[in-house]
């Protein structure tokens, strides 16, 4: 399996559940398209739930950065939820961990958008 995406609405926050591998090719382009689709629909609050992401490569990291920039430039906010240790380590060694607003609890993450 490459990547599986599902978007659900919690109040005015769009929660994108991402599962599988975010790697060069289908995985990273699917996530990019979904984020851009939300932005085009004027969604300003996007929470990327990476709890079921087993693997992410440098291309996937690039797509997280790209998504963050796209959403921020449109006046919105993109936050991350449920990073496993590997993804967290990856963001830390690339010094991106502090760039993103990272949450462990969904309800708390949703509230943080207010």
Partner 1 sequence: MRDNDHRVTETVERSLDSTLESVDRAEEMAVGAAQRAGFDDDDLMKIGMAVREGMVNAVVHGNRYNDKKKVRFRVAHGAKQLAVTIADEGEGFDFEHLPDPLSPENLMATSGRGIFLIRSFMDEFRMRRLSPGGTEVTLVKHLVSK
Residues in contact with partner 1 by CB under 8 A are 23-25, 55, 57-59, 61-63, 65-66, 68-69, 86, 90, 93-96, 99
Residue 28 has φ and ψ, to the nearest 5°, of -75, -35
CA distance 13 to 11: 6
How far apart are CB 39 and partner 1 at their closest, in Å?
Answer: 16
> By C-beta, is 13 or 78 nearer to partner 1?
78
Nearby residues of 67 by Cβ (< 8 Å), 6 or more positions away? 31, 32, 35, 46, 48, 78
How far apart are CB 34 and partner 1 at their closest, in Å?
Answer: 16
Least Cα distance to 100 among 51, 48, 38, 56 occurs for 48
> By C-beta, is 68 or 80 nearer to partner 1?
68
How far apart are CB 106 and partner 1 at their closest, in Å?
Answer: 26
How far apart are CB 23 and partner 1 at their closest, in Å?
Answer: 7
Report residue 58 as tokens: 């440098």
């Amino acid at each position: 399996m490459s990547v599986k995406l599902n978007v659900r609405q919690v109040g005015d926050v769009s929660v994108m559940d991402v599962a599988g591998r975010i790697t060069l090719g289908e995985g990273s382009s699917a996530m990019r398209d979904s984020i851009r689709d939300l932005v085009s629909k004027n969604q300003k609050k996007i929470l990327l739930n990476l709890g079921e992401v087993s693997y992410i490569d440098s291309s996937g990291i690039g797509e997280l950065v790209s998504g963050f920039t796209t959403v921020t430039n449109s006046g919105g906010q993109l936050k991350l939820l449920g990073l496993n240790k590997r993804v967290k380590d990856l963001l830390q060694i690339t010094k991106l961990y502090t760039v993103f607003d990272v949450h462990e609890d969904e309800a708390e993450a949703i509230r943080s958008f207010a």
